Structure 1
Amino acid sequence: MLDRHSASTHLAPPGATPTLDPLPRRIADFATLGEALDYAAGGRRGLNFHDARGNLAQAYPYAELRRDALAHARRFMALGLAKGDRLALVAETGPEFAACFFGAIYAGLWPVPLPLPTSFGGREAYVEQLKVMLQSCDPKLFLYPAELEDFAAAAAEQRGVEGRSWESLADVVPDEAAALPAADPQEIAYLQYSSGSTRFPHGVAVTHHALLDNLKAHGVGLQVRDSDRCVSWLPWYHDMGLVGCLLSPLSQQISVDYMKTEDFARRPLAWLDLISRNPGTTVSYSPTFGYDICARRISSQTRASDRFDLSRWRVAGNGADMIRPDVMQAFVDAFADAGFKAHAFCPSYGLAEATLAVSLMPPGEGIRVELVEESELSGAGTPAQERPRRYRAIVNCGKPVQGMTIEIRDADGSVMADRQIGKVWVKGASLMVGYYRDQESTDACMKDGWLDTGDMGYLSSGYIFIVGRAKDMIIINGRNHWPQDIEWAVEQLPGFKSGDIAAFAITGPSGEEQPAVLVHCRVSDPEERGRLRDDIRERVRAITGITPVVELVPPRSLPRTSSGKLSRTKARNLYLSGEIVPFDIAA
């Protein structure tokens, strides 16, 4: 059994950057991101990159990051890039991306993180996605790791963009005489593609001022301490990974230990191993599915305390998708004897269009839920007496972060009272300038300084509760049905997990709307498939009162966004176009 008292909470892994540092802590009170790195470089903290087995591969102090970034800035200028040019770069978790990203910041360029191929279904799908994003951001230069040259160079060539590996930058002589441009806080710092942007990407334009406002709110909301240390596996092309687990720790001078996202995907429990072996770790984030897969992977025959020590984990952040209380409870049940405390959970709500954080649960309050009757969620009014009441547990996502205001509005734009479900609108200094070169989409979601998030929720005593995405809602006979409820119902059947099911509405033969459910099927026997389809149909009918179209599809058929979340919209389009081919099952 691990001895939870054998190591000081202030220690760092051997060879890694320290947890504690004499440099006085500043909570992101800088005018620009370059200033934040300038200050962090005065201390000894920094980034630490670990291999697939969790061994330290490279310690990268913020001072070294700054040195390399300044050299890259002058290399970019020597290559002819000028202030305001876009620099696209594949967001691989490693020192090369970090140095190129901050090199772009120092040179006044707009870095644009692009996804890795792990979220796509093969070479052609990945190249196509890169092409779409390159067309959208129109970069002057596209950088990528040498091992992805086959993919990235093809996309760059087809889009007429100069592409090169970041390893090749070593051959570029920096323009040492070049004066780095001054950065204005109101200028664009970077472009962030929102997680739902696949076919028609939206490049979110974030200024230095908006970014630092959100980073400060993040630090204040998490009650950052001198003894904090972070562990992360989240991808840097997603806002929670880039802003929450790279830019936020840097702006608050926190040391971070990283493992690559693909290493987490292969060995999820390595995340918890890394937390356990790094005795100073207090902060780590994950979407719900990360906690889910860890709880599923731990053997019922194994005592978690024999392998893990999670006793110092004070902020177990949760965001980026719908937070499911049953999954969180399963994680607590699985790892309580390893020292994990339920009150460490920190639910949050955010989106790239707000830079990142909109709300955070105050540390220590943990997961809190409210039971909301189905009729309130569907807008159907008081349920008939003969129908049993059904409830859904809605997770409290905390209070608005510093400087952020949240309103719940009805379809006419009127502000709604507490505990009334409507559209979530937010306002604050960290909102995006708009979508890059897409004024129509910007105007569709931003009005008078307010952002229409596209999410549905309600306020209760100053806390925000998110119930779902408005665009995902399935409306049948005037009743609203949330796809999450349908998907959850199927997940309760043996052999299914989160991400195996996509629910959405289609138009039936008579022109009426009806729900469709696509389900990953790992059964080969035709009779078993037929029984499985019937079981799914009955389960959905029992939970929702509606009979769906059920299609069993091959594993890994359902598409995901660049951040790994299920894309119901894309699944629907692929199904209707015939690109997702269901198994043939006799009626």
Structure 2
Amino acid sequence: MLEHVQRNHDTVPEHGLHLYEKFADPPETVLYREFPARIAAYAEHFRAHGIGPGTRVIVPFETSAAVILSFLALMEAGALPLSVKPLLPHSPKAGYEDFLGRVAGEFGAAAVLQTPSLATVDLPLARLPLPDPELRLPGARLRVPADDELAFVQFSSGSTSFPKGIPITQGRLRANLAMILGTDGRNPEDRVSSWLPLYHDMGLVGGLLSSFASGSDLLLAEPSTFLFDAFGWWAHMAREGVCGTVVPNFAVDYSLRLMRDLDREELAELDLSRLHVIYLGSEPINIRNLEEFLALMAPAGLRDDVFMPCYGMAETVLVVTSRPRAGRVRIVRSPSGLPAISVGPPMPGFTVRLRTEDGRVCRDGQLGEIELAGGTLADSYLDDPRPLTGTDGFYATGDIGFVDGGELFITGRISDRIKVNGQSLFAADFEQALEQLAFIRRVAVAQSGGRIVVLAEADRTARADPGGCRARIVEHLVHATGVTVRPEDVHFLRPGRLLRTSSGKLQRRAIVAAYERGDFTEARPRTEEPPAPAG
């Protein structure tokens, strides 16, 4: 990564990092030609505070120039940054203190980078102060780390257990970045936009580091900037001539919900014709919403082939499969009979196979657990001597899907599988169907005690007429999936009750446990509108 930064200094000195607090305001800009002098000086600052090769430093990855450059400087110093979520606004401080303490204890961190969000946090380890932003070492040249040197540690999503540390080597990082840039054909003149959190692999590797590797201008904002102004983000990309971005499926659903009532004339004022790559991943893709959004944005010049569904995970640095830029999105019927969208063929070096519940290797079109070998797959989790792969060299991902025509299709997680009359459906099949109902904000569907349970964060329509809305849910699921759910198994919750990971995925195991403990109570009627989803 450091050699990419040095090359950008030499070849694209007028490109750089542009940080936005609001999409309509001028950004804070750090040009790539400034990076080496600042990174080298920051590395000296860290060495003066006792940080050396192999020192483990927790980095609460806030979206700021100071933290981004400090992350790169820790790598320049040979230290090992542990990339974790920062303390988010309105999050319980005690829970975050416990989280940092557990990360420090389990992974042997010697210090934590003193980011602004930690000002009031009680920490169990030494604080490493941020460098003075004026520090420079003019003429500095950054080193080229060896392929087997650890670059940083990123963490699994934590949807089923405490996040696992995944050590990312410099060589595997270089290789995965090459896969990304080779797939989208990016060049230094292509401008990239991202608001994804930098502690998550999509934001860190897919948004930030891929832009540094290509030398492209990166227009970066915090996630809350998008959440408060989704239309403003699309207008910003049109105004700035953005060519590429990377988003989870949530961004399409959220944008559609907030923008579907806009006039065609208003949308026609945008020019999104230069936007030719939107990587789409992280969670099951809602095909119906995707098609509706493309139709909605057609007056703005958004291409109907702009979305590139992809599949990846922190254990592989990031990307495993993706639709090529020159291809078209394929939608076929899954073995359950519901539509499924292709996430493309495997990247070079990866071998993908699927196995049935009884251990047999799947044939094309047969549902099974996705297993990986080769490519940029990590050898093991941090400080865990056990290899990630089994004795046959394959890593069982816990994801379920099928292969058709050499392309992979994802249907859900093993833990999210719901069996009805011998047929395998997935929680996402039910959830995406229910999200078409206007009164549903967020919803989780799970199996408990043999019954399908619906836990829905709903608006005041459902709270005012719960019986009528339950009947609409039951009828809608029969029509969409062919499955009947009992009205008494549909529960309405206040917004914010459904537990999510740092990357926004539902923690279904924890949600089911909370439901079975009786932690969820019905939302009582009230008149005011609940707040918008927080991501």
Q: 1:484 aligns with which of 414, 428, 431?
A: 428
Q: Which amino acid counterpart does residue 93 of structure 1 have in structure 2?
A: T
Other structure's SS at 1:248 match: helix
Deviates more, 1:34-43 or 1:123-132: 123-132
Structure-2-length-normalised TM-score = 0.89
The answer to whether the 8 Å contact 2:317/2:376 transfers is: yes
Which of 148, 162, 166 does residue 126 from structure 2 map onto?
162
Asked if 1:252 is matched to 2:214, the reply is: yes
1:9-28 alignment, distance < 5 Å: none
Rounded to whole Å, the distance in 1 between the matches of 2:322 and 2:32 is: 27
Match of 1:571 among 507, 511, 528: 511
Query: Cα offset for 1:359?
Result: 0.8
> Alignment partner of 1:56: what SS?
coil
Give, in whole Å, the separation in 1 of the partners of 2:279 and 2:251: 11
Counterpart in 2 of 1:320? 282
Q: Gaps (5+ residues) in structure 2?
A: 526-535
| Alpha-carbon distance in 2 for matches of 1:148, 1:198 | 27
- Measure the CA separation in 2 of the matches of 1:266 and 1:165: 31
Residue 467 in structure 1 maps to residue 411 in structure 2: yes
Q: What pairs with 1:188-337 in structure 2 (closer than 5 Å)?
A: 188-196=150-158, 199-279=161-241, 281-298=242-259, 299-301=261-263, 303-337=265-299
Between the aligned residues of both structures, percent identity stands at 27
CA shift, 1:197, in A, is: 5.1
CA distance in 1 between partners of 2:392 and 2:30 (Å): 43
Give the structure, 1 or 2, with the largest relative contact order (CA under 8 Å, sep 6 or more): 1
TM-superposed deviation, 1:414: 3.4
**Deviation, structure 1 residue 63:** 2.7
- 2:71 counterpart of 1:98: no
- Please say if residues 149 and 169 of structure 2, whose CA atoms lie closer than 8 Å, have aligned partners that are also in contact: yes
Q: Is 1:493 aligned to residue 437 of structure 2?
A: yes
* Partner amino acid, structure 2, of 1:432: A
Distance in 1 between the 2:137 and 2:436 partners?
Answer: 61
Residues 196-233 of structure 1: per-residue CA shift (max 9 Å, x gap): 35851111111111111111111111122343221111
98-107 or 575-584, which moves further after superposition?
575-584
Which letter maps to 1:504? A
For residue 393 of structure 1, the aligned residue among 339, 342, 366 is: 339
Change (3 A) 1:446 1:62: farther
Alpha-carbon distance between aligned partners in 2 of 1:63 and 1:139, rounded to the nearest angstrom: 32
Is 2:444 aligned against 1:502?
Answer: yes
Q: Which amino acid aligns with 1:559?
A: L
Distance 1:540 1:238 in 2: 33
Correspondence for 1:547: 485
Aligned to 2:399: 455
The more displaced of 338-347 and 196-205 is 196-205
Match of 1:186 among 125, 138, 148: 148
Q: Which residue among 580, 583, 586 is the counterpart of 2:520?
A: 580
CA contact (8 A) 2:159 2:506 kept: no
1:109 equivalent to 2:79? Answer yes
Deviations along 1:453-500, whole A, 9 cap, x unmatched? 211111122211111111211235544231112212322322224xx1
SS of match in other structure, 1:316: strand
Query: Following the alignment from structure 1 to structure 2, what is the Cα–Cα distance between the partners of residues 240 and 359?
Result: 14
Aligned to 2:451: 514
Q: CA deviation at 1:181?
A: 8.7
CA separation of 1:304 and 1:395: change in aligned 2, threshold 3 A: farther
Q: Quick one: distance in 1 between partners of 2:435 and 2:177?
A: 36
Q: Distance in 1 between matches of 2:3 and 2:133?
A: 28
Letter aligned with residue 370 of structure 1: V
Conserved in 1, the CA contact under 8 Å of 2:462 and 2:492? no
- 1: distance between equivalents of 2:183 and 2:134? 42
Q: Find the counterpart in structure 1 of residue 351 from structure 2.
A: 405
Counterpart position of 1:381 = none
Per the alignment, in what secondary structure is the counterpart of residue 67 of structure 1?
Answer: helix
Paired residue total: 518
Show the counterpart of 1:25: none
Specify every segment of 5 or more residues in structure 1 that has no aligned partner in the other structure, as ranges.
Answer: 1-32, 378-390, 508-512
TM-score with structure 1 length normalisation?
0.82
How far apart, in 2, do the equivalents of 1:446 and 1:107 lie?
Answer: 35
| Partners of 1:149 and 1:165 within 8 A in 2 | no
Match of 2:36 in 1: 66
Deviations 1:364-397 (A, max 9, x none): 434320023xxx33xxxxxxxxxxxxx3110011
Q: 1:430-441 maps to which residues of 2 (within 5 A)?
A: 430-439=376-385
Aligned-pair Cα RMSD in Å = 2.8
How do 1:115-154 and structure 2 match up within 5 A?
Answer: 115-118=85-88, 121-150=91-120, 153-154=121-122
The whole-number CA distance in structure 2 between the counterparts of 1:309 and 1:181 is 41
